[in-house]
Amino acid sequence: MELIEKAKELVKKRNWAVFMTVCGIAGLLLIMISAVLPDKAAEVNTERDLTQKLSDVQDYCMRTEKSLEDFLGRIDGAGEVKAYITAESSERYVYATEGRRSIAENKTEEEEKYVMIGSGSEKKALIESVKIPKITGAVILCSGGDSAAVREKLYSAVSAALDLPTAHIYVTKLR
């Protein structure tokens, strides 16, 4: 209450400059305090984004496994097929860049910056492309896995389909 009364008193005395200075300083202090306080919403969003990305990678692996099972099941002698794949990480973003290159007297200068879209606090880097997670390994179980010829066909098919070296693929008989 004292603060309000003092503000009224300043207004009555017509010391607008002092009053405005005090209000300005108070506003700046509030801004500085808000910048120091932790942002709980950002922490929650970061955890939610991480959980969402993990879920997206798992969904991607499951869809790829199903597609691979259908594909490999058509190979002669394979029979019933089950697949399990692993992925390196979540999807990766490639951001658009723009560069400048100047050559002058035995000196070459290159500058590259991200292309930004939006204005003010809404500025974001322009996404040029999104790369799918890299598949790092595959385990294939099939009822025809006891045959060396069938295993060789499966190794070749999985290697070609997923662009994996055969050392990262394991094929065995399904129980």
pLDDT at 58: 81
Segment 76-95 mean pLDDT: 85
SS (H, E, C) the chain: CHHHHHHHHHHHCCCHHHHHHHHHHHHHHHHHHHHHCCCHHHHHHHHHHHHHHHHHHHHHHHHHHHHHHHHHCCCCCCCCEEEEEEECCCCEEEECEEEEEEEECCEEEEEEEECEECCHHHCEECEEEEECCCEEEEEEEECCCCCHHHHHHHHHHHHHHHCCCHHHEEEEECC
The pLDDT confidence band at residue 173, using thresholds 50, 70 and 90, is: very high
Range with lowest mean pLDDT among 7-16, 18-27, 76-85, 114-123:
7-16
pLDDT at 46: 56
**Tens digit of each residue's pLDDT (9 = 90 or more) over 46-64:** 556 656 666 777 888 889 9
The pLDDT confidence band at residue 15, using thresholds 50, 70 and 90, is: low
Q: Spelled out in words, what is the top-level CATH class assigned to the domain 64-173?
A: alpha beta
**Tens digit of each residue's pLDDT (9 = 90 or more) over 95-110:** 888 888 778 777 888 8
Is the pLDDT at 24 greater than 70? The verdict is yes
pLDDT at 139: 94
